[in-house]
Amino acid sequence: MRFSLPLSEFLESIGECRVEGDWNGEIVGISTLKESEAGDLSFLGNSRYTQEVAETKASVVLLPNNFKGSPRAGQIYVRVTNPSLVLGQFCGVLERRFWPRPPAGIHPTAVIDRDAVVAETASIGPYCLVSSGARIGHRAVLTSHVSLGAHAKVGDDSRLMTHVSLGDFCEVGDRSLLNPGVVIGADGFGYETVDGVHEKVPQIGRVIIEDDVEIGANTTIDRARFSETRIGSGTKIDNLVQIGHNVRIGRGCLIVAQVGISGSAILEDYVVIGGQSGVVGHITVGKGTRVGGQSGVSKTLPPGSVVQGSPAVELRMFQRISALQRRLPDFFARFQQLEENTRIR
């Protein structure tokens, strides 16, 4: 995406920094060090790309304060504590410019039940459905084709993107973001097998999403069998994640794409789950635990654990096992040789 922004406005938006070099044009794009052209902004967020700084064509380069080197003619270095974070802040400025908050009001194609309560400062977009007893807070945004069930609640400053579904009695707290296709409050997966027939167990609970939660596209969070499924404040959930009924996730957790969490599992605060991992039901993953990608967590983990593998084991053990697995062909060849030597004797 191309744009045009004076250098002075960029520097003002990022706050404290040290500028070195001579260039005062307009920034017209953001790109990687290797792919940048004149007029672009780039950054060094990972030390493995340090050698690319000297070769980049970017006019403005965000660098850590301790970077050693000087800009070329017609180029400036902007030294900051955390280049990646500063770039993120600047992208927030661009986001507000290119995707401003829609004006307050209700689109004429939206369907709002007479018993629903919608704050005057909220924005309800085209073809949204707001059912009986639902409540929408101040400055909340429902973009388009969003469905709110009976007595659902959306907090202040939250944003629900296209085709989000929030089920009956489910709640989203303040300043939360639900990306396109998120489904909150679909039936939990519960059955009792009687005489070979899978009889459905009604799921009559709800889902509570606390404040400052972000949920990625096409993620699903099932309503509880009874009581509630709960996602704690500040937790960030990636795309295509499945969270089962009665799961409880604490504050500040990070759950990466394609994770599956089975019913009644508990994730305490600040747990990190790597992509494509699975967590079985009815266990507890302790506070601050880190689970590597493609792991299978099959038992309760104490706080501060670092695990990987399927089944998940302590990281150092996983690394030892992986190292031994790579040597198995050599071990097998040596074993065959020993067998042959034994037969010859």
Give catalytic residues, as residue numbers: 245
φ, ψ (nearest 5 deg) of residue 72 = -80, 175
CA distances from 81 to 8, 14, 63, 65, 87 (A): 19, 11, 8, 6, 11
Report the distance separating Cα 78 and Cα 220, nearest Å. 41
Report the distance separating Cα 146 and Cα 116, nearest Å. 15
